[in-house]
Amino acid sequence: MARLLVRTLWVGAVTLLGVPHASAAALSVPASDTVDAPAGMLRGVASNGVTAFLGVPYARPPVGALRWSPPEALPRWQGVREATHDGADCPQPERMGSPVSSTNENCLFLNVVVQRVPASDRPLPVMVWIHGGAFVGGAGSLYPLEALARTGPMIMVSVNYRLGALGFMNHRAFPAVQGDGYGIEDQRLALRWVQHNIGAFGGDPHRVTLAGESAGAGSVCAQVMRPIENAGLFQRAIIQSAACTGPMPDLAAARKLADAFTRAAGCGTTHDVMRCLRDKPVPDLLRAQVTVQGARIAAFQPLVIGGRGQRAVAAAVRKGDFMHVPMLLGGMDDELQLYVDYGIRAGADITPSTYPALLKTVYGRHAPEVAREYPLRAYPSAEDALAHALTDFQPVYNIGQCLFLAQGAGFARVVPVYQFDFADAGAPPVGTDPTVSRGAVHGAELPYLFPGVDYTHARTGTVPQGDSAQLAVWMREYWASFVRDGRPVAKGAPVWPRFDAASSVMRLDPHAMGTMDAASAHRCAFWRRLYPDLLVY
C-alpha cells in the first residue's frame, strides 16, 4: 500500500506541470506576419491581436547518430517556412490525467508569440517558458502564451526538449554529456536561438527571462547553476515549484539507472551498447523507461553541476557560484495535496490506521516526530494531515515550501529575490479531470498565467473565475513587470517587497493578499531541526 502511494505520487507529478501595461511601445511584427530571421523566413498566424509562430525548429532532429548526442544547430532554411501549427511533442508515454503521448523524435521545436503593437525604437522583453512534466512528459505547446504576451507586452517563447531516458540518461557508453543532460543542452541551444533570432520579432535579447514550473523550474535551476555556459543567455529567472538546493541524484545513481534501462531495453549484454540503443524503435525505449522508472518520481532528471549532489549545489550557492540574475520564485500553499489525491484515486489506503506507516515510508526514523508535529486530531482527515506534512517538507524530491524558502534565502545573499506562496483556495481543478484537486495544489497557478492550459492540446482548460480572476490579472502583471524591469509590480495590488526574510514572502490569495511569514506557516524551524543537511540556509 505504501508503495502504491509512492508510485501514484510520481504519476501525479508527471501529469504536471491580460491587461496591456502602460509601457506598450515596441517594435512591431510586419503586417504580413512574415519575419525574416537569421534562422530563415517564417510565416506565422495572427489572432486576437497577437501573432504566433508555431513549430519553429531550433536544432537538427536528434535521430540516428544524433540520438543521445548534444543538439546541433540548424543551418538557415531556404524559402518561407509555414509556422502555423505546433511541432511534435518529444517522445513520452501516456500517463494518468493526460492522454498526451508521442514517439516522434523530430521534436526540437519552439513557439514564439508576440503582441502586435505600434512600432518604436525600444524592443520587447522576452520570456522563455520551460514546461513541466517530471522530465518525462509535457510540451511547450500545451501552454497558451497569448495572455502574458498581451499583458507585457512582451514576446513569449515556449520550448520542447528531450525527455525521459532520451533526454536525461547518462550511460558510460555515451559520448561525454555536456552540462547536465541532453534535455538541458536542448534548452540552452534554444536560448542561443533566441539570442540570435528574437530581434527579428521585435524582441530584446538583453532582456530575456528564463521561467518554468515543476520540472521546468528544475530546468531553470540547472541553467542558473551554470554561470559560465549561460553567460549572456538570460537576465532574470522565474522558478515555480522546484528547489535548486534540494535533494537530487548524483552521477553514481544516474549510471546505475542507465544500466537498468539498458538491460530493460534488451541491450545489457551487447558489445556495442550505443549502437544497440540507437537502433531500438522509440516505443521499445519508452517501455524500458516505464519499467525502470517504477515508483520513482523524475528518475530521469538533470545532473545539476555534473551530478555532484545536493551538498555541492548548496556550497555553490553559498559561494555565489551561480547566475547573478534577479529571481522570482515560490510554490503552492497546499503543494502536495494533488499527489495525495492522485494516490487516493489510484487506490492508496490513507486512513488514521495507515498514517504512521505512510509517514515512515517518507520520513523514515523521523516519522514519530512528524506524527507529533502533524497530529491527526488537528486535521479533518488523514489525507489532509499527510498532505500538509509533505507540502511543508518532502525530503526525497526537490519540492516543499521549506526547501523553497531555503533556496530563496541562499540566492538572496547575492541577487534580488522575490518570493511567493500561492494560496488561492478557490483555484480551479488542476488538469483535465474536475474531480481532482482544486485549490493551491501543485500546478494550480498555471491557469492564472496561461488561461486555458489543460495539457491536452485542446485549449479548453479552465480559466480562473470570480475573485480568482482578479488575482490572475495581478499575477500576470507581476510576472510581466518582473520580465520587463526585474521587479514584480501590479496596478492596484499590494507592493511585493524584495525577499530578506521569511516574513517578506508575498501571499497570492485574493482574500488575503500581502506579505506573510512563510517559515512560520510551514513550520520550517521544525523541519530544519530534523534535516539540517538539506535545509542548509
pLDDT value of residue 247: 73
Helix (H, G, I), strand (E, B) or coil at 54: strand
pLDDT value of residue 180: 87
DSSP 218-264: HHHHHHHT-TTTTTTT-SEEEEES--TTS----HHHHHHHHHHHHHH
**Is residue 256 left, alpha or beta, with left meaning phi > 0 and alpha meaning psi from -120 to 50?**
alpha
pLDDT value of residue 347: 86
Show Cβ contacts of residue 209 under 8 Å, excluding neighbours closer than 6 positions: 125, 126, 127, 128, 234, 235, 236, 237, 238, 482, 483
- Candidates 84, 20, 2, 66; CA nearest to 358 is 2
348-357 tens-digit pLDDT = 899 999 999 9
- Give the torsion sign (CA, 62, 66, 67, 70): negative
86-143 tens-digit pLDDT = 999 999 987 654 555 789 999 999 999 998 765 566 899 999 999 999 899 999 999 9
Cα end-to-end distance, the chain, whole Å? 35
Show Cβ contacts of residue 302 under 8 Å, excluding neighbours closer than 6 positions: 135, 168, 180, 181, 183, 184, 218, 219, 221, 222, 248
Set 69, 102, 141, 214: catalytic member: 214
260-314 tens-digit pLDDT = 999 999 998 878 999 999 999 999 999 999 999 875 656 788 888 877 777 788 8
Peptide bond into 153 cis (omega under 30): yes
Residues of the chain with pLDDT under 50: 1-28, 30-31, 97
DSSP 491: T
User: Residue 83 corresponds to which amino acid?
Assistant: A
| Largest pairwise CA distance in the chain | 69
419-447 tens-digit pLDDT = 999 999 999 888 656 666 678 999 999 99
- Candidates 24, 3, 144; CA nearest to 461 is 144
Set 335, 383, 445, 477: catalytic member: 335
How many helices (DSSP H) and strands (DSSP E) are in the chain? 18, 14
**206 a catalytic residue:** no
Which residues are paired to 327 by β-bridges? 237, 417
pLDDT value of residue 429: 84
Which CATH architecture does the domain made up of 2-42+51-72+80-96+109-260+298-341+392-530 adopt? 3-Layer(aba) Sandwich (3.40)
Q: All 3 cell numbers of residue 162?
A: 528531450
pLDDT value of residue 59: 98
Round to whole Å and give the CA distance between 100 and 15: 10
pTM of the full predicted structure?
A: 0.92
Set 21, 131, 442, 522: catalytic member: 442
Strand 514-516 to 34-37 pairing: unpaired
Q: All 3 cell numbers of residue 193?
A: 536561438
pLDDT value of residue 15: 36
pLDDT value of residue 117: 64
**442 a catalytic residue:** yes
DSSP 268-298: TT-S-HHHHHHHS-HHHHHHHHHHHHTT-TT
pLDDT value of residue 434: 63
- Candidates 408, 242, 437, 411; CA nearest to 338 is 437
Q: All 3 cell numbers of residue 106?
A: 523530430
